[in-house]
Amino acid sequence: MTENIAAAKRTIVADQKKDGLSVRDLILVAVLIAAGAVLKLTVSSFLNFAGMKPNFMIAMYCLAIILTRPKIYQSVVIGLLVGVVSQIPMLNATPLVNIASEMVGALVCGILVTVLAKVARDNKTCQNVAFPIIITFISTIFSGYTFAMIVGVAVAHLDPLAVFGVYAVMVLGTATMNAVLAAILTPVLRAVLKR
């Protein structure tokens, strides 16, 4: 009888993974997005260094995608939710631009998680600290440069290469800070999830 219960649990878990995010995953995504918004409103300005500071919204949705491993289209939906939350006036000085940039960042994050998980093929490699660092760094770069290009071309009517050059250092600094944040928080969140 114990074997039947264990087999049923494995089947339920497999079915949940096929269908996408579980209820637990959705709760984790919501909590991390809310935490990112609160941290951006409170702590972010204190960590500003030469225009570079961690973008807690990006770091938190990257963590959510890394930990829950949603399907790629679900990652884009997570990015859309973060973009919509970013429309709160105190979180955003450029309305609507964050929606596109966060969707691109989340798309890249979802693709990297899917590809690296398939390449690694074992859970031990995916548990490696480098996994969230690389993914968060690259996703932040894509999100940041998408933001810069939209602001430069659509809003300010500037040359995209000039905007790219201005934002180059700031985006790299933010990506580095986000990667460090992911490296610190991922083991903690994984330990909490195991409980």
The pLDDT tens digits of the residues spanning 3-52 come to 545 544 454 444 444 467 889 899 999 999 999 988 888 887 677 666 67
The mean-pLDDT minimum among 58-72, 140-154, 158-172 falls in 158-172
Which tokens is 164 given? 């790219």
How much is the average pLDDT of 131-159?
85
The reported pLDDT for the residue numbered 179 is 93
What distances in angstroms separate CA 147 from CA 60, 109, 165, one per listed residue?
18, 16, 13
The Cα 70–Cα 47 span in angstroms is: 31
The reported pLDDT for the residue numbered 65 is 94
Give the bridge partners for 49, in sequence order.
Answer: 52
Name 158's Cβ contacts closer than 8 Å, sequence gap at least 6: 152
The reported pLDDT for the residue numbered 133 is 92
The Cα 110–Cα 76 span in angstroms is: 8
pLDDT confidence band for 157 (50 / 70 / 90): low
pTM of the model: 0.81
**7-21, 98-112, 174-188 — which one is most confidently predicted on average?**
98-112
Which domains does the chain possess? 24-194 (1.10.1760.20)
Name 32's Cβ contacts closer than 8 Å, sequence gap at least 6: 60, 61, 63, 64
Which tokens is 68 given? 């829950």
How many Cα atoms are found within 13 Å in the side-chain-facing hemisphere of 3?
Answer: 0
Other C-beta atoms within 10 Å of 92: how many? 17
The reported pLDDT for the residue numbered 158 is 67
Name 174's Cβ contacts closer than 8 Å, sequence gap at least 6: 52, 53, 54, 55, 58, 140, 144
DSSP 49: B
What does the pLDDT look like over 48-99, one tens digit per residue?
A: 666 677 889 999 999 999 999 999 999 999 999 999 988 886 667 677 888 9
Q: Is 52 helix (H, G, I), strand (E, B) or coil?
A: strand
Q: At what angle do helices 160-194 and 130-150 cross, to 10 degrees?
A: 150
The reported pLDDT for the residue numbered 14 is 47
Task: End-to-end CA distance of the chain: give it in Å, rounded.
Answer: 25
Overall size of the chain counted in residues: 195
Which tokens is 73 given? 């289209």
